[in-house]
Chain A
Amino acid sequence: MAAVAVKYPAFQELGVEVLAVSVDSVTTHKDWHERELCRMVEGGALYPMISDPDGKIGHLFGVYDAKTGLDLRSHFLIDPHEVIQAMEILAAPIGRNVPEILRQLRALQHHQATGDFMPCGWEPGKPTLAEKADASSISGKVWEVWKPRNAF
């Protein structure tokens, strides 16, 4: 979550609010924030740290693990119409990739703004697919306009 705190300005630049959720109490959130996050990141975490003590929110999103009583490490990208556009769930020992979350947001925002299709590994500045066209129009012809190296 410290890595998310470091990149919080990048989320803000995209007009995205970050909401962090765990089963810890708000008192524990405050304690962790003051004792550790503030020492790792200048200013600490500027996003709300939500308390989900009974796992109710995690359950709503299908990420509450009743065996451990914890919310699984996961993220959901929710658009301005309150629709879920992306989700990822990870095993607890595996950390997330914050730049990838930002990439997904940029791709989703670009798609919603233009109607373009956002190919594998798309980053701003890279070519999109079938701009303002329906997918069927490039079916079988993707090889002509997109190369796998564009993914990396």
Chain B
Amino acid sequence: MGIQIGDKAPDFEAQAYHRGSIKTLQLSQYRKQWVVLLFYPGDFTYV
């Protein structure tokens, strides 16, 4: 069964491009604030 409303968001660690630099971040570092996690199919797409 997949993820559901009310579930704790699974933590992850990943590389990110942010304001001109490359960094490693974890979802859990944003705990205590609201987060919008947006997935999209790919860069250079037009939707």
Contacts and interface: CB of A to CB of B under 8 A. Distances in A.
A76 B10 contact: no
Contacts of A29: 16-17, 43
Given A17-B33, A51-B17, A85 B42 contact: no
A49 B8 contact: no
Contacts of B41: 22, 68, 70-73, 92
B17 A105 contact: no
Nearest to A105: B34
Contacts of B15: 26, 50-51
Interface residues of A, number: 64
A95 interface: yes
Q: How large is the interface on B (under 10, 10 to 19, 20 to 34, 35 or more residues)?
A: 35 or more
Given A21-B40, A48-B17, A92-B47, A85 B35 contact: no
A106 to B, nearest CB: 11
Given A26-B15, A32-B43, A70-B42, A77 B6 contact: no
B37 A75 contact: yes
B38 to A, nearest CB: 5
A49 B12 CA distance: 14
A135 interface: no
Given A76-B36, A92-B47, A95-B47, 17 more contacts: A1-B38, A16-B35, A19-B27, A19-B30, A19-B38, A22-B39, A23-B42, A32-B43, A48-B18, A49-B18, A57-B39, A61-B10, A61-B39, A62-B2, A72-B39, A75-B39, A105-B34
Interface of A: 1, 4, 11, 14-24, 26, 28-33, 36, 46-52, 56-58, 60-63, 68, 70-87, 92-96, 101, 105, 108-109
